[in-house]
Amino acid sequence: MSRVETIGNAVLYNADCRDVLPTLGKVDAVVTDPPYGIGADEAAKKAAEQRKAAQAKPLGQRTKAGRGWADYGETNWDTERPPPEIFGLILEAGKNQIIWGGNYFTDLLPPTMQWLVWDKGQRDFSLADCEFAWSSQQRAARIFNYARAKALLDGKEHPTQKPIALMKWCIEILPKPQTILDPFMGSGTTGIAAVQMGRKFIGIEREPKYFDIAAKRIEQAQRQGDLFIEAAA
């Protein structure tokens, strides 16, 4: 049984997107970051365990193993990619789509002219220097430069959480979308970006833990926006 919460102009579903997407009308845009099927959840957990083990050693014996990693608890959500049927539903759900991790789904998505790149401004790090998004727009490719360290200032609640600024950039380059849909909401970053930009948002998240985190973050963004409007009145 799905759980539904309405927060201002945001409607959030704690459910499997396969059950919800067929019930929705067509939205202006889908902006999402699905699981890539690369075990990012397990990798984060192992790195966090290495960090704890390193910190438990005497001061002179400590290493940098796992430094900067947190234990997010939840695992097994990144064991495999979403099935092809979900990508079909995503393509039907919106007039335009931006799908992060698009390089992992090239066999499931049609060829496109526009690829988006998030350049993290950091080299020779254990993670990727940049990330790619597939875009349905037949327009020039674009690059967003935003330091990984700045992204951490958002308050990281999910191991693959994207920066709010990145999701705002995605919304800005779309043709004036009024309703944004994210069928893999995670910790709610796309919803925060949409709310802060005055757009309507529909979010779907299967994991109850991350649904609760997303609802809290989006509610905070909505409250801050309301306070700003009241102050400006």
- The CA distance from 154 to 175, in Å, is 26
Q: Give pLDDT tens digits for 134-153.
A: 999 999 999 999 998 898 88
Q: Of the candidates 18, 20, 23, which has an alpha carbon nearest to the alpha carbon of residue 3?
A: 20
pLDDT band at 20 (very low <50, low <70, confident <90, very high): very high
Q: What's the confidence (pLDDT) of residue 230?
A: 46
Report d(CA 83, CA 193) in Å as an integer: 27
At 159-171, the pLDDT tens digits run 889 999 999 999 9
pLDDT score recorded for residue 156: 85
* Strand 200-205 with 10-14, pairing: parallel
Specify the pLDDT at position 167. Answer: 97
Torsion over CA: 226, 201, 36, 76 (sign): positive
